[in-house]
Amino acid sequence: MNDAVLSQTLLRPLNARRAVNLSVKTWFYVAAIGHAIFLTYILAVFYPPIAESGLYGLKGLHLPTGFREGDTLGNLASVSHVLLAVIVIGGGPLQLIPSVRRYAPRFHRWLGRSYLLAAVITSVAGMYMTWTRHTFGNLVSQISITMDGILILVFAFLAVRTAMTKRIAEHRRWAMRLFLAASAVWFFRVALMGWAMLTGGWGIEWKSFTGPFLYALGFGQYLLPLAMLEWYFHCQKRGAGQGTQIAFVSTLIPLTVFMAIGIFAATMGLWLPRI
């Protein structure tokens, strides 16, 4: 690139469409860093004891229930849930990086199939544990997380169906929805810790793990990211107005800042101390 082209590129006004793309890219890379930290935590905390002692490795782990004598199916659900979480949390962001898709299409396909399978098993196991063992929260938390499990199954089915019928643009949209629904549990941890850091835990009853903030977050962990995604799709349309695009960017920037605070708080308060 010569100097004239370079300076023209740098001086090009930041129009609304470019601002949308830039804000989404920034959001994505901040989220990817946060996923990488959660992935490190899962690998470091759950893998060594389970590799050493199988189902008994769940004993003493930081889980609401973990190992329960005589409940083989529940223990299997718990083990498969935390082991496959690695593919869901590690694979999700990788699937969305355009250069991975472009330069390693076979890896993208292979990871895509593993991701889908892992997301489906993890959510079925999660729903099983939610309704057969008392894990955390109350009925509201059980219903809100179950809705996420159902959304994961529906989005996974639609992502596969559109890929099989070669409707690639639609496939991409369903795959992105699946990514956000499958990462809802990550958003939950990040938003919870960010909120606790900023407000001292307003609306949270820690002992019973209930309270208005937790109820809102139970649904918000997937409804808010999914709503932002639909808004992003709308901003990408040809006829999308500049006003809508600027409103989108002005909403996404503070949400990204909050997410970054939450990643820091979750890393320092939840993940790093247990690694």
What residue has token string 């190992």? 67
Count residues contacting ligand HEM (CB under 6 A)?
Answer: 27
Judged by CB under 6 A, does residue 156 bind ligand HEM? Answer: no
HSE (side-chain half, CA atoms, 13 Å) at 227: 10
Residue 42 touching ligand HEM (CB under 6 A): yes
Q: Which of 141, 143, 147, 176 is nearest to 159 (CA)?
A: 176
Minimum Å distance from CB 184 to ligand HEM? 7
CA angle 90, 92, 98 (to 5 degrees): 115
Query: CB burial class (10 A; 0-12, 13-18, 19+) of residue 165?
Result: exposed
Give the x-and-dash track for 91-130 against ligand HEM (CB under 6 A): ----------------------------x--xx--xx-xx
The verdict on 252 binding ligand HEM (CB under 6 A) reads: no
CB of 91 to ligand HEM, least distance (A): 10
Q: Give the number of other CB atoms < 10 A from CB of residue 251.
A: 14
Span from 1-9, 56-64, 209-217, 247-255 in contact with ligand HEM (CB under 6 A): 56-64
| Smaller CB separation from ligand HEM, 40 or 146 | 146
- CA dist 18 to 14, 111, 144, Å? 6, 30, 35
Q: Which is nearer to ligand HEM, 84 or 249 (CB)?
A: 84
Residue 88 found at the interface with ligand HEM (CB under 6 A):
yes
| Helices 168-182 & 212-236 angle (0-180, nearest 10) | 160
In this structure, are residues 23 and 253 in contact, taking their beta carbons and an 8 Å threshold?
Answer: yes
Which 187-246 residues touch ligand HEM, going by CB under 6 A? Answer: none
Nearer to ligand HEM by C-beta: 183 or 256? 183
Among 24, 39, 82, 160, binds ligand HEM (CB under 6 A): 82
Dihedral angle, C-alpha 25, 151, 35, 90, nearest 10 °: -100
Least distance to ligand HEM from the beta carbon of 16, Å? 34
Q: Residue 166's CB: how many other CB atoms inside 10 A?
A: 8
Contacting residues toward ligand HEM, per CB under 6 A: 42, 62-66, 78, 81-82, 85, 88-89, 119, 122-123, 126-127, 129-130, 135, 145-146, 148-149, 152, 182, 185
